[in-house]
Chains A and B, each alone.
Chain A
Amino acid sequence: MATTTPDQPDLYAPREPIFPRRVSGRFRNLKWVLMAITLGIYYITPWIRWDRGPNLPDQAVLVDLAGRRFFFFWIEIWPHEFYFVAGLLIMAGLGLFLFTSALGRVWCGYACPQTVWTDLFILVERWVEGDRNARLRLHRQSKWTLRKARLRLTKWVLWLLIGLATGGAWVFYFTDAPTLLRDLFTLQAHSAAYITMAILTLTTFAFGGFAREQICIYACPWPRIQAAMMDEDTITVAYRDWRGEPRGKHRKVSEEGLGDCIDCMACVNVCPMGIDIRDGQQLECITCALCIDACDDVMTKIGKPRGLIDYLALSDEPAERAGKAPTPIWRHILRPRTMIYTALWGLVGLGLVFALFIRADIELTVAPVRNPTFITMSDGTVRNVYDIRLRNKQGDARPFHVTVTGDPALRIVLEGASDATVTVGPDSTRLQRVYVDAPATSAPAQAERSEIRFWVEDLSNAERASEASVFNGRDNR
C-alpha cells in the first residue's frame, strides 16, 4: 500500500529570488494611483490640524493612549465607547468578506501594506539597479565590485529611509506630531518613540526589501481564509487556457493547432510572487493583475485580442469554451451572497452612525457603596452612599447639578460641596461621593428597598442625564 523512496527529499528550500520586470498598462496605472493614495493617507494624516478649543489637542487623528482618548476629526471616543472601534472592525471584516467574494483577493493585490510597500521597494530597486535583466546580472555576479557595492548600498540606504519615514509616521498618530518631530530631532522624545520607530524601520526594511512574497506565502493567514471565501462566481485573475493552449512560439504565419499563448513568459517575468498564472489558481497569487497588463501588451503586439489573461469568473469557462457569451460581470458581482454582505455592512454602519448621533455630552454612572448597605445616623436618619462618575465630554469645564428622585423625603449631600452642584473639568470624569439621606419616619427609611433615580443637569445648557439605582432602608438589616 505504502511506497517509500530511498532518497528523502529536502524539507527546506532556499528562497528563489524574484526579479519582477517593469510593466505598464491600466492595472499598473491603477496600482500607482492607489499606492499614492494609501501612502498619502498614511503619511499626511497625522499632520492634519483640527481645532477643538483650548483644552483639547488640535490633531485631527490622534490616539491619546495616556489620556485614553481617540480623536478622529469631529469625533472623540472615550474608553467606554470602545464599541465604536469594535463596530468599525466588524465593518472591516464584513468589507473584506464582500470584496473577497466579489472580486477575489483585491485587498492583497492593491491595498495590503505588504503589497504597497513591496511595490514601492521594487520601484526603488529598479530605479537604482535597473530592470529585471540588469538586476539578474547583478545578482549572479558573485564578485563584489565597487559598482555592485555602490548600487546595493544606495538601494539599502533608500529602503532604510523609507522604513524610517514609515516608522516615523506611525508614532505621529500617538502624540502631537509637530512637537514630536521637534523632540525627535533634538533627541528629547520618549524612548518608546525611538524604539517603535526602530522596530518599524527594520521590519519595513526586512519585509519590503527581503521577505516580500514570503510574508504572503508563509506568514499571512489571509490567503488561506480567502480561499474559503471565493466561489466560482468570484471575479479573479485567470488564464483562458481554452484560448491559449496548446502554447507555442509565435510565427509570422499562424500555425495550425496552436493557441494564442506564445509562451513568451511575460506574465511570469512581471509576477512579484514568482508564479506562473497559467498553472491556474494558486495560493501564492495576490491578484495584482500585472500579468494581465503584460499579456495584453504582447497580444496587442502580435495582433491577437487582449484578455488571454484577464479578470474573469471561473463559472464562465464552459460558456467560453463553447464559444458562447459569458455572463456579464455585474451578474457575477450582484448575487445574493454579496448583497447579504453589503446589507450587513450597511446595517452595522448605520447602527454606528445612529449611535454616534444619539451620544450624550454628559453622562453618569452610579455605583452604590454596599459596604455597609445603609448607615443609621444618630437622629435615626437612614443614609445610603453612592459613588457617582460624572462625565463631561465637552471641551470646557461645566457646572453639574446632581439631584435624586424617587421620594420627596430624600435629601442629597455631595461630599466636599456646599450645595448639590460640582464643576467637572473639560473632557474629563469626576468621581463624586454622594450621600442620600432619608429621615427616620420617611417611607424609604422604613422600606426594604426603594427605586430611586439620579439626575445630573448641565446648568450651562440644561442638558440632562439620569441613571436608576436603589435605596436600602432600615428593613434591610
Chain B
Amino acid sequence: MKKRDVETTGHEWDGIEELNNPLPRWWLWVFYATIVWGIGYTIAYPAWPGIRSATAGVMGWSTRANIAEDIAAATAANAEITARLAETPLTEIAADPVLDGFARNSGGAVFRTWCAQCHGSGAAGAKGYPNLLDDEWLWGGSIEAIHESIQHGIRNDQSDMARYSEMPAFGEILEDDEIDQVVNYVMSLSGEPREADLVAAGGDVFADNCSACHGAAGEGDQSLGAPNLSNAVWLYGGDYETIRHTVEYSRYGVMPAWQDRLSDAEIAAVATYVHGLGGGE
C-alpha cells in the first residue's frame, strides 16, 4: 500500500520518528490577533498594576463608577413609588398591593442595614432588645405607633419627641423582703406557681409601688412604655434573678431617633416591614 509521505521533524529516538503535522497558517494568525487584542484591551481597560493603583484605561471604565451608576438608576427607577410611599397615609399602604410589596421589600433592606444590629437580622431581638415578631408591644403595635417609635426613638437626646419613661430603682425605696415579695407576685401574674404568702404580700407592695404604671393586674400601659407583666413575653428574662435585678436597679433601654438618618419613605417602609412580621396590631 502506498502510504502518504508525512514529513518528519528529523528527530528520532530509538527508531521512533517525530512526524511533522504542521498547524494551519491561519491558526498562527489567530494567535497573533489575540496578542494584538490583549494589548488593546490593556490600553482600553484598567490593567497594569502600579504602586498605589492600576492604569485607568482610556475608556474610563471602573467597577465603582458602574455601581454608582446602577444605584443612581435604581433610585431613579424607584423615584415615583418612593414618593408615593412617603405621601400615602400609613394605614392605607396595605390596601395597595404594589406599594405594600415595595414597602415590605425595601423596608426589609433598611431593617437589615440599620436595625438588625440590636433587633437581630430575623427581628427576634435579644435580651433588652424587643422581639418584633411577637404580639407584645411596649409602645404600641399599630403601624402608626411603630412608625413613631422609629421616627423619634426611645429615651434618647436626639429627638424632643422621643418616647420617654423611667422606672425607679426600687432597691433604694423598698426593703429587701418587700422586693422578694413583689418579685414573687410578678412571677405569679403570668401563671408561675409561687408561695402563696409571698404572693399575697407582694400584691400589696405591687399595688402601692408598681400599679400606677404597670396597671392593677400588671397588664402594662403602652402610653408609658410600661411592659405587660402578666403574659409570657419577657424583655430581659422571666426568671427570679432577672426580675429581681430589674426591680432593684431598673432598666433604661434606649433606641436612637431615625428621623434625621432615614428618609420619610424609608421610615414608612421599615415601619410597614416591622408591622408585617406577624405581630402587628
Contacts and interface: CB of A to CB of B under 8 A. Distances in A.
Interface of A: 1-5, 8-15, 214, 218, 241, 245, 247, 276, 278-280, 369, 371-372, 375-380, 383, 385, 415, 435, 440
A276 B4 contact: yes
B65 interface: no
23 contacts: A2-B11, A2-B13, A4-B10, A8-B9, A9-B7, A11-B20, A12-B27, A12-B28, A218-B23, A241-B1, A278-B1, A280-B1, A371-B122, A375-B131, A375-B134, A376-B233, A377-B279, A378-B135, A378-B228, A378-B233, A415-B276, A415-B278, A440-B232
Nearest to A373: B124
A255 B180 CA distance: 129
A369 B8 CA distance: 70
A184 B20 CA distance: 49
B264 to A, nearest CB: 25
A472 to B, nearest CB: 13
Given A276-B4, A372-B133, A380 B122 contact: no
Contacts of A245: 1
A59 to B, nearest CB: 30
B122 A378 contact: no
Interface in B1-42: 1-4, 7-14, 20, 22-28
Interface residues of B, number: 36
Interface string B243-278: 000000000000000000000000000000000101
Interface SS of A by simple majority: loop
Contact of A380 (B228, B232, B276): B232
A376 to B, nearest CB: 5
Contacts of B23: 11-13, 218
B231 interface: yes
A415 B101 CA distance: 13
Given A9-B20, A279-B2, A371-B121, 18 more contacts: A2-B11, A3-B12, A10-B22, A11-B22, A12-B23, A218-B24, A276-B4, A278-B1, A278-B2, A280-B1, A375-B133, A375-B278, A377-B134, A378-B134, A378-B233, A379-B231, A385-B278, A440-B232
Given A3-B12, A12-B22, A378 B124 contact: no
A1 B120 contact: no
A371 B8 CA distance: 71
B26 A371 contact: no
B27 A218 contact: yes
